[in-house]
């Protein structure tokens, strides 16, 4: 049995005004200090007040949110008893809010216990969740997975359950205008990696294919523009839509090898998520190669890339992604990402272990063994195309 889940998605200019139509008494806004300083929370509160909803703000979500932060938010939620939770921010904020919502509605379940096999979370009776992304990349507004950090144990927890999905995603491009070029570029590469991996992993399906292909086209067309000029509202809007479309796509399929290796690199060297997974995407396509040649051909066709006779679509597509990356100032190799070779070499065992333990690896159309994983990292360090 397979299923496809998606929240109500409100998009485009003025999407935020959806808040003024809500029915309820109080909202609990989850965000971070940076978003407050940008004035976004005032805009959100203004719309909520038009609906007669009073709001409280929790602005303490940190990058890579911790279980401890989630607990802190839940204490306040219990105090305020909100009937709406509104997350305003990037993936970290939305993941924190999704987790808080579970503990608030189900005090008998701890966030770290969320797993795909709980079939009756019964969320939605006490509160509903709205996600308003301020970056165009993670897709967390439409996915049912969260990543939390247990600071006491120094470990990352990937938690999945299809009921933790938001009720409404508000995809309003106005919230992305202030995003600096580097973050636009990094998060855009995350969205591209979701789209390509969602289309090519072994859990791909008829419901997600079209979404992943369309998102790939939009990102190729509009990401360079959004990076070059943050005020280009057409590019901002298309990128914001693309990230959510890719989120629905890979959220109902899965991400694979580029995410497994990207998570691994990020855990050791703190490379931003999108930069890390985007870096590995062309190497991933080359490594999977013939196992998905038909699909690389489909993507190449959708992007109007020419595949000359005697050449593989995998290498043409990998090159096109490298050209895009170069254009938006992404590193093409681990070396270019600024990681010194001595630190890279001494971390090899950890990099391999992390990759092997990553849940994304199992849906890769070709799964590397330990020796191949090491070789993969070494090639990616030097910027060498995969030839094995
Ligand atoms: Fe991602």
Mean pLDDT of 306-311: 95
Note the pLDDT tens digit of each residue in 172-199. Answer: 999 999 999 999 999 999 999 999 999 9
Report the distance separating Cα 154 and Cα 351, nearest Å. 16
Q: Rounded to whole angstroms, how far apart are CA atoms 68 and 88?
A: 19
Cα 240 to averaged position of ligand 1 atoms, centre (Å): 15
**Residue 191 alpha carbon to ligand 1 centre in Å:** 7
- To the question of pTM greater than 0.75 for the whole model, the response is yes
CB atoms within 10 A of CB 36: 16
| Ligand 1 centroid from CA 148, angstroms | 14
Dump strand ranges (E) for 80-191: 84-89, 128-133, 145-150, 155-160, 168-171
DSSP codes of every residue in 283-295: HHHHHHGGGGHHH
Q: Which residues, in sequence order, are CB contacts of 284 under 8 Å at separation 6+?
A: 197, 256, 257, 258, 261, 364
Hey, which bits of the chain come out as E strands?
A: 8-11, 26-30, 54-58, 84-89, 128-133, 145-150, 155-160, 168-171
Express as a percent the part of the chain with pLDDT over 90.
93
Q: Which residues place a Cβ less than 5 A from the ion ligand 1?
A: 190
Query: Contact at 8 Å (CB) between 215 and 142?
Result: no
Listed in sequence order, the residues at least 6 apart from 295 whose beta carbon sits closer than 8 Å to its beta carbon are 199, 200, 204
CA of 58 to the centre of ligand 1 (A): 25
- Expressed in angstroms and rounded, the spacing between residue 42 Cα and the centre of ligand 1 is 29
List of residues 6+ apart from 5 with CB closer than 8 A: 144, 162, 165, 251, 252
Q: Which of 91-100, 127-136, 198-207, 263-272 has the lowest mean pLDDT?
A: 263-272
Q: How far is the CA of 369 from the centre of ligand 1 (A)?
A: 23
Q: How far is the CA of 51 from the centre of ligand 1 (A)?
A: 34
Quick check: 256 and 285 in contact, CB under 8 A? no
Surface-to-core class of residue 76, CB atoms within 10 Å of its CB (0-12 exposed, 13-18 middle, 19+ buried): middle
Poorest-pLDDT segment among 59-63, 173-177, 228-232, 267-271 = 267-271
User: How confident is the prediction for the chain on average, in pLDDT?
Assistant: 96
| Angle subtended at Cα 137 by Cα 133 and Cα 141, rounded to the nearest 5 degrees | 40
249 CA distance to ligand 1 middle (Å): 12
* Whether pLDDT at 211 is above 80: yes
Look at residue 144 and tell me whether its pLDDT is greater than 90: yes
In this prediction, residue 128 carries a pLDDT of: 98
CA distance 69 to 89: 15
- Band of the pLDDT at 150, cuts 50, 70, 90? confident
The Cβ of residue 189 has, within 10 Å, a number of other Cβ atoms equal to: 29
Is residue 119 predicted with pLDDT exceeding 90? no
The alpha carbon of 340 and the centre of ligand 1 are apart by a number of angstroms equal to 24
Q: Give 316-365 pLDDT, tens digit per residue.
A: 999 999 999 999 999 999 999 999 999 999 999 999 999 999 889 999 99
Tell me, in angstroms, the distance from the centre of ligand 1 to residue 90's CA: 12
- Separation between Cα atoms, residue 234 and residue 367, nearest integer Å: 39
Calculate what percentage of the chain has a pLDDT beyond 70. 100
Band of pLDDT at residue 156, cut at 50, 70 and 90: confident
Distance 139 CA to ligand 1 centre (A): 8
pLDDT in tens, 57-99: 999 999 989 999 999 999 999 999 999 999 999 999 999 999 9
Q: Tell me the CA–centroid distance for residue 106 and ligand 1, in Å.
A: 28
Instruction: Kindly give the distance from the C-alpha atom of residue 64 to the centroid of ligand 1, in angstroms, as a whole number.
Output: 13
C-alpha distances in angstroms, 8 versus 36, 167, 169, 174, 225? 25, 6, 6, 19, 28
How close are the terminal C-alpha atoms of the chain, in Å? 36
The CA distance from 118 to 114, in Å, is 7
- Name the band, by pLDDT with cuts 50, 70 and 90, for residue 234: very high
Question: What's the 27 CA to ligand 1 centre distance in angstroms?
Answer: 29
The CA 208 to ligand 1 mean position distance, Å, reads 16
Q: Please tell me the distance between residue 143's alpha carbon and the centre of ligand 1 in angstroms.
A: 11
| Rounded Cα distance, 11 and 236, in Å | 12
Ligand 1 centroid distance, CA of 259 (Å): 6
**Which of 69, 89, 85, 176 has the alpha carbon at shortest distance from 123?**
85
In this prediction, residue 8 has a pLDDT band, given cuts at 50, 70 and 90, of very high
Find the 52 Cα to ligand 1 centroid distance in Å. Answer: 36
Distance 192 CA to ligand 1 centre (A): 9
Q: Which of 154-158, 337-341, 379-383 has the lowest average pLDDT?
A: 154-158
- Ligand 1: centre distance to CA 54 (Å): 34
In this model, does residue 295 exceed pLDDT 80?
yes
* 3 state SS of 113: helix
Burial of 297 (0-12, 13-18, 19+ CB in 10 A): middle
CA of 277 relative to ligand 1 center, distance in Å: 7
Weakest mean pLDDT among 45-49, 171-175, 193-197, 262-266: 262-266
Average pLDDT over residues 257-273: 93
- Domains in the chain, CATH or no CATH each: 8-176 (3.40.50.1970), 181-382 (1.20.1090.10)
d(CA 243, ligand 1 centre) in Å:
10
Q: Is the pLDDT of residue 153 over 80?
A: no
Ligand 1: centre distance to CA 266 (Å): 11
pLDDT at 155: 74
Helix/strand/coil percentages in the chain, nearest 5: 55, 10, 35
Q: How far does the centroid of ligand 1 lie from the alpha carbon of residue 189, in Å?
A: 9
Tell how far the Cα of 188 is from the centroid of ligand 1, in angstroms.
Answer: 10
């Amino acid at each position: 049995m397979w299923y496809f889940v998606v929240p109500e998605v409100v998009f485009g200019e003025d999407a935020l005004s959806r808040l003024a139509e809500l029915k309820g008494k109080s909202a609990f806004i989850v965000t971070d200090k940076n978003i407050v300083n940008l004035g976004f929370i005032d805009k959100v509160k203004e719309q909520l007040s038009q609906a007669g909803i009073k709001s409280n703000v929790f602005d303490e979500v940190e990058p890579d949110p911790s279980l401890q932060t989630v607990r802190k938010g839940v204490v306040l939620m219990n105090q305020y008893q909100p009937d709406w939770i509104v997350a305003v921010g990037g993936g970290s904020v939305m993941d924190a809010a999704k987790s808080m919502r579970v503990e608030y509605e189900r005090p008998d379940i701890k966030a770290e216990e969320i797993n795909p096999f709980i079939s009756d979370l019964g969320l939605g009776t006490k509160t509903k969740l709205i996600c308003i992304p301020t970056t165009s990349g993670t897709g967390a507004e439409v996915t049912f997975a969260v990543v939390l950090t247990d600071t006491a144990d120094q470990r990352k927890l990937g938690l999945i359950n299809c009921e933790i999905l938001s009720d409404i995603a508000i995809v309003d491009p106005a919230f992305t205008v202030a995003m600096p070029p580097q973050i636009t570029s990094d998060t855009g590469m995350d969205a591209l990696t979701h789209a390509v991996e969602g289309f090519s992993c072994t859990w791909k399906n008829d419901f997600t294919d079209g979404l992943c292909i369309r998102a790939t086209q939009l990102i190729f067309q509009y990401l360079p523009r959004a990076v070059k000029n943050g005020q280009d509202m057409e590019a901002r809007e298309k990128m914001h839509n693309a990230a959510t479309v890719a989120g629905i796509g890979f959220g109902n399929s899965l991400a694979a090898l580029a995410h497994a290796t990207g998570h691994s690199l990020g855990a050791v060297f703190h490379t931003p998520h999108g930069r890390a997974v985007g870096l590995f995407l062309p190497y991933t396509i080359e490594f999977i190669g013939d196992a998905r040649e038909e699909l690389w051909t489909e993507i190449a066709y959708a992007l109007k890339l020419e595949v000359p006779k005697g050449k593989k679509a995998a290498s043409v597509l990998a090159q096109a992604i490298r050209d895009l990356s170069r254009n938006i100032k992404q590193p093409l190799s681990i070396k270019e990402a600024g990681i010194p070779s001595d630190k890279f070499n001494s971390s090899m065992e950890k990099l391999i272990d992390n990759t092997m333990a990553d849940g994304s690896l199992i849906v890769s159309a070709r799964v590397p063994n330990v020796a191949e994983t090491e070789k993969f990292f070494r090639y990616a360090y030097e910027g060498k195309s995969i030839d094995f």
